[in-house]
Chains A and B, each alone.
Chain A
Amino acid sequence: MSMKVHTRQVDGVTILDLSGRITLGEGSITIRDAVRDVLAKGSSKILLNLGDVNYIDSSGIGELVSAFTTVKNSGGELKLLNLTKKVHDLLQITKLYTVFDVKDDEASAIAAFTK
């Protein structure tokens, strides 16, 4: 299953609901384009909902890191929401779990963005 992105706004935060696979090729490019689109539209608070991401490879992890640094360098914030066990384990192994601000509840994630 290829990756799909659904975008919505909640209290000034752009939530990207991702589903499917984030892997080399289509999935990675989809994330990159989605984050760039959000930044281009002037929003800098981005919450990536990974609850329906069932597979991620090293390219996908790299894309999450690139999204994080791109948003941060633009003066914004990017947080992760609802990690599946597979994604959680990969971020732990690669020591990225503490780099990202990871949340498991949407309301508290939105509240955690700088007002």
Chain B
Amino acid sequence: MADSTKSRAEMTLGSTLESVDLVERTAEEWAQGTGFDEDTVSHISIAAREAAVNAVLHGNAYDTKKHITASFERTADSLIIRLTDEGAGLDPDKIPDPLAPENILRGSGRGIFLIRAFMDEVGIRQLHPGTELTLIKHRTPEQTGS
């Protein structure tokens, strides 16, 4: 369980659904430890899960020879979660808008949208090969204790 002080942890995981579940649970613990309210904890947990799914499924395509990394960092004013994969790369300009009428009934394509909806800042960086997703949630003054 993460404590409430500034801290950081990183894990390297296989390209499996178990890794996705672990990232989700760890993000939930860090969000709780940061002092976010219940709804925000849930949102951060879902966003982290979506980022992990993106890394494992769309990035590494379940390739057992490839890994993902997940890092969790609590700063004075934010919780920062980073996911990297070793895949072909994600072009943010080619992600379809899931709210567009032609996409609304698609069975997939909502992961990045949910990440952006639930986090305050989202960064997508090409690693050549791979992609790094950075998810940031800012702490309110009550949560930082200032």
Contacts and interface: CB of A to CB of B under 8 A. Distances in A.
A57 B46 contact: yes
Interface of A: 23-25, 57-59, 61-63, 65-66, 68-69, 86, 90, 93-96, 99
Contacts of A59: 53, 108
B114 A58 contact: yes
A77 to B, nearest CB: 15
Interface stretch (B65-73, B83-91, B97-105, B125-133): B97-105
Main secondary structure of the interface of B (DSSP, over half): helix
B73 to A, nearest CB: 23
Nearest to A23: B49
A58 B108 contact: yes
Interface of B: 17, 20, 42, 46, 49-50, 53, 57, 98-99, 104-111, 113-114, 117
A7 to B, nearest CB: 22
B17 to A, nearest CB: 5
Contacts of A94: 98-99, 110, 113-114
B114 A62 contact: no
A24 B57 contact: yes
15 contacts: A24-B53, A24-B57, A57-B53, A57-B114, A58-B50, A58-B114, A59-B53, A62-B110, A65-B105, A68-B105, A86-B42, A90-B114, A94-B110, A94-B113, A99-B105
Contacts of B109: 62
